[in-house]
Amino acid sequence: MTGPAVPQPVTSCCGGRVHARTACVNGGRNKYAVAPRSKLRMCPRSTPCNGCASLTSGKASSSCGSAASTCTSRHSWPSKYQDLRECRVAPLRASEADEGSSSTVKIHYHRPDEDYKGWTIHVWDGAVRATEWESGLAASGIDQYGLCFLVPVLRDAPELHFIVHRGDQQEATGVLNLQESHEAWMVAESCQVWTSTAPDLALIAAGDLSKAEAFWPGREYIAFQRPVPTKPSTVHQSSNLAFYLHASSTASLELTAQGVVNAEITLPLDVPSGGLEGSQLPPHILEKFPHISSLGYVLLPRSSDVDIERLVQCQLALEVKDLNSGIIVRATGVQIPGVLDEAFAYDGPLGAEFKDSEVDLRVWAPTAQSVNLLLFDSPDPRTSPVEVLAMTKDMLHKGVWCASSGTSQNWNGLYYNYEVKVFSPATMQIETSIATDPYSRSLSCNGLRTHICDIAQDSNLFPADWSRLGNVKPRVSAPSDIAIYELHIRDFSALDKTIPKAKRGTYAAFSERGSACVEHLKSISDAGMTHVHLLPTFDYGTVNERREEWKYAEDVAGRPLEEFPADSEEQQKAVFAVADEDSFNWGYDPVHYGVPEGSYASIPDGSTRILEFREMVSSINRTLGLNVVMDVVYNHNLGSGPHGPHSVLDKIVPGYYLRRDLSGNVEASTCMNNTACEHAMMSRLIVDDLVHWVRDYKIDGFRFDLMGHLMLATLQEALTQIRSLTLEEDGVRGEDVYFYGEGWDFAEVASSARGVNASQMNLYGTGIGSFNDRIREGVNGGSPFGDPRVQGFATGLYHLPNGFDQGTREYLKGELMGIGEKVMVAMAGNLRNYRFVNRYGDTVEGKDAFWEGSGSGYAASPEETVNYVSAHDNETLFDTIMYKVAPTVTLADRIRVNWTAMAIIAFSQGIPFFHAGDEILRSKSLDRDSYNSSDWFNRLDFTYETNNWGVGLPGEAKNGDKWDMMRPLLADPALKPSREQIVATVEHMKTILSIRMSSPLFRLKSLQDIQDRVHFYNTGVNQYPGVIVMEVADLQGVRQLDRRFQRIVVVVNPTPLEYCEESEEFKEAYTGRKLELHPSLIAQEYDSVIKRSLAGEGTVSVPGYTTAVFVEHR
């Protein structure tokens, strides 16, 4: 996925995916509120918010406690998590309302601490004008109750949606029924709203049990925000405060003016000896939970009265009472993952364990009050269980529930669910949830039931010669030899008519020798591609696995989509009419991490998917000569809460596996339901799952979606365990497995706020790779969040402006020289400490490229850098170029720009990463986010007849604001490549890969190797901006790595004019030496222009829009 450049914005990119966290779900109080993805992979089953409580006249209406749902109102989301084009409406003052079409609503807001500075109201549906999150409507004044907001509303509006907030701190949320009232009263830290008269403030306790602002991070400690005075004149001395932990096994706790009632257990808590003001949680807790470092704490009694096992099965609440006044200073729910880890973390078997004819099932569920095993003899969800067994707790490991078939029963081949009775913070109730096993290894269709099968021992699930696959896998000598091709399983073959229809878009397609798609992949493998990165192949929830129920766009359109014009709206109308019911999705919506996705299998029920996935891996390894990388998405879950087919982890241990903020709301910065691998058992699940994929499916590498949201320790533990796997014991060489991912550092994990996360900067020295957004944005220009016309190093910046105002000529020259530094450092492996000469003539390190402290270079070694200019997110490389180059640039030259960008990636130190289709000029008809855009916009044609340009305007929801920019481009027949041009680009890809593989000098392994051998000319104050001249050489005094070439010179000239390198420095180095074009460039026949590149006496010249490689033979 794409990601933020330096400096990084607060939003992350998975290709321009900007993450939205909803504020308007169940009154803003629901712990499991999730927002649809505002740019990527939106959950197709999102429904309008039904949790926000309508306000009833004269009654307090609770806005918490209903089941989680997804709010689709975009104005309810803080804009820091939104598309930058959304919610940009200026706030409207009351005086601006049109008296003829509007009226005014009064909303009163009271704070016990009388701190009203900075509080505003965010309004949307029903308001005359929706506000922007950062600029809410200011209060009109303060009355005896508190703040008073005057909100102009439309006269015919049925209701008004609002949130009182200060920045991202939300305190009052509601939906006002305008047919019943035009006035409402709210109180901070209360989830009640009054609409008839103001409430009696003396009868309102300060607190909200639906929040969870207290923490139980270890056996002895309860942490919380230190109490604040109810008024500035009132001071609560810690000696006057009493603290209580209340528990209810029936979830019956209520907050009254007298305090928390209906508790079955109430434990008095002790103030630490140093008092509340000076208390600090112990270091081992703060290391694990740094985000609670500012909190105070109290102590649980050190006695046998504290039954942790019983308490964690209850609804819990912390109460703070002023003994002098009797006032309830604070009451809140309690987050318990810390104590669960300390008291119940477990490292024994989970899921199904097979012992001869016996099957043992175990599930970690320490908060469950009971767990039943429901056994089925059919995958059909309409059938009833054939047996229901009460599971028992493990005597040694109290958090684990067990059931065993014994030797008299045969459970192999059966299906099962767990029935879990447990308190759910999502609903504040004791729920009975039907769940699959988090450690499922096989499933029924659509993941509704877990299937019992022994994937490690059942020989029926092994392809031919499976046990020996580890011996014949294609190997690389070092990670820097890797070259990656990113591919979606369905894209690969869905529209390939050389594949049998039943196998198109499936695992089986990879075994179809002689097909267009397989032969294409084999050809680039032969040229030097080493790994194929498969977009999500685990069980995800956004494609129906029953093929017979899929719907098709052409059925909606009533005729073939090819018949509509190239710039028509009709194609996308038909596509998105069935987008949530068709066969396509990228799949970044995990349900079961450890099971192959069923929509790519011929039979979705049971173990067929296991065999066919393994057959795919075997074919890719053996036939295509490629290693297999899995795209894994451990940063979030598709589902949460106690009900629904996509919730798994959160049914088993509610509130544990998901990361929650200081108020108990589930974080959603990844798009929804962020997971918390800082918690021991979530971390363990990830580690176990990765080892499982390597050992049981012989996977060769992993790409981590939003890797920065995972803890670095989790990945390092996984890598350690995987690298301990051996060919002799496990059938795989774990030492060959490579990790890389998106190291974006943003939102709640930024700057290691939740522990040391796997962000770009933190990966230094780990050997784990991360996507290098510096080279992507340097080469292409701009960022995924800006105007697509912003130009970059390869797309005409300064030399050939496209008409879009990007600054003065002098500014653009300086910008190009600065961007050139970023690209140079990236071509040298993007190393933090690589030294080079910058545009001012100073020798600086990579971390200071472009400007001092930029952090542009961040890696310790080249294996930690994954260089790319395109990926599945955002526009394809071809589409990006269409936007950015000047209108006068011909299609032939635009294609050469494409070639230049690909060559920069191939010839850079580090690991080159190519998006499937870069080599066939792939277009998605300018779609910037095709996660759900069907086969139509995601088409790959490996017969080379089309690149898919001009197949209609892309989806309006993601692209509609740029349709006017797109129409003239898509409608221009001169911009559609011919088959000859596509084939030439394929040949170009094979040529640059073969050049990379021709010399180890392109694949250096360390900072020292690179510092000794990589040097740049055309630098300093007198450089010609926009051209890179890179030398990679085995000079005297260094170990000779290349037996064939002594020196290699790469000249990258993306400008329209010929460039001649004839600096004194270059002349001194090369006078008397014989340089010539690389043999692969001499032999190729697709590009006559590059053959005009010349090497003279101490000079080289290269035509415009060309990247040439010169060599000096030994």
CA 1063, 1068, 1072, 1077 torsion: positive or negative?
negative
d(CA 657, CA 637): 9
Smallest Cα–Cα separation from 367: which of 318, 417, 418, 422?
A: 422
* Cα 284 to the center of its chain, rounded Å: 29
CB atoms within 10 A of CB 978: 13
- Phi, psi at 572, each rounded to 5°: -70, -30
d(CA 313, CA 365): 10
What is the b/e burial string over 581-615, where b = at least 16 CB atoms within 10 angstroms of the residue's CB? ebbbbbbbbbbbbbbbbbbbbeebbbbbbbbbbbb
Active-site residue identified among 213, 742, 748, 935: 742
Task: Mark whether 437 is an active-site residue.
Answer: no
Label residue 100 exposed, middle or buried (CB < 10 Å: 0-12, 13-18, 19+).
exposed
Q: Which long-range contacts does 468-473 make (Cβ < 8 Å, 24+ apart)?
A: 469/617, 469/618, 469/621, 469/622, 469/698, 469/731, 470/698, 470/727, 470/731, 470/732, 470/733, 471/727, 472/621, 472/622, 473/621, 473/627, 473/698, 473/700, 473/733, 473/736
Answer yes or no: are the C-beta atoms of 440 and 399 closer than 8 Å. Answer: no
What is the b/e burial string over 1029-1064, where b = at least 16 CB atoms within 10 angstroms of the residue's CB? bbbbbbeeeeeebbeebbbbbbbbbbbbeebbbebe
Active-site residue identified among 341, 589, 689, 705: 705
SS3 labels along 391-443 = CEECCCCCCEEEEECCCCCCCCCCEEEEEEEEEECCCCEEEEEEECCCCCCCE
The DSSP 8-state label assigned to residue 479 in this structure reads G
d(CA 332, CA 206): 9
d(CA 668, CA 23): 11
What torsion, rounded to 10 degrees, do the Cα atoms 693, 695, 700, 702 define?
30
Task: Mark whether 742 is an active-site residue.
Answer: yes
* Cα 844 to the center of its chain, rounded Å: 33
Q: What angle do CA 1051, 1052, 1055 make, to 5 degrees?
A: 125
Answer yes or no: are the C-beta atoms of 492 and 498 closer than 8 Å. Answer: no
Q: Where are the beta strands (DSSP E) in 711-802?
A: 738-741, 769-772
d(CA 554, CA 934): 11
Residues in the chain: 1114
Answer yes or no: are the C-beta atoms of 788 and 884 closer than 8 Å. Answer: yes
The DSSP 8-state label assigned to residue 603 in this structure reads -
Block residue for tokens 């194929």: 532
Instruction: Put residue 356 in one of left, alpha, beta given phi > 0 → left and psi -120 to 50 → alpha.
Output: left
Q: Coil, helix or strand for 374?
A: strand
CA 919, 920, 923, 924 torsion: positive or negative?
negative
Q: Alpha helices of 594-704 — where are they, by DSSP H?
A: 608-622, 649-652, 680-697
What is the b/e burial string over 699-729, where b = at least 16 CB atoms within 10 angstroms of the residue's CB? bbbbbbbbbbbbbbbbbbbbbebbeebeeee
Q: Coil, helix or strand for 268?
A: strand
Alpha-carbon Rg for the chain in angstroms: 31
Residues annotated as catalytic are 705, 742
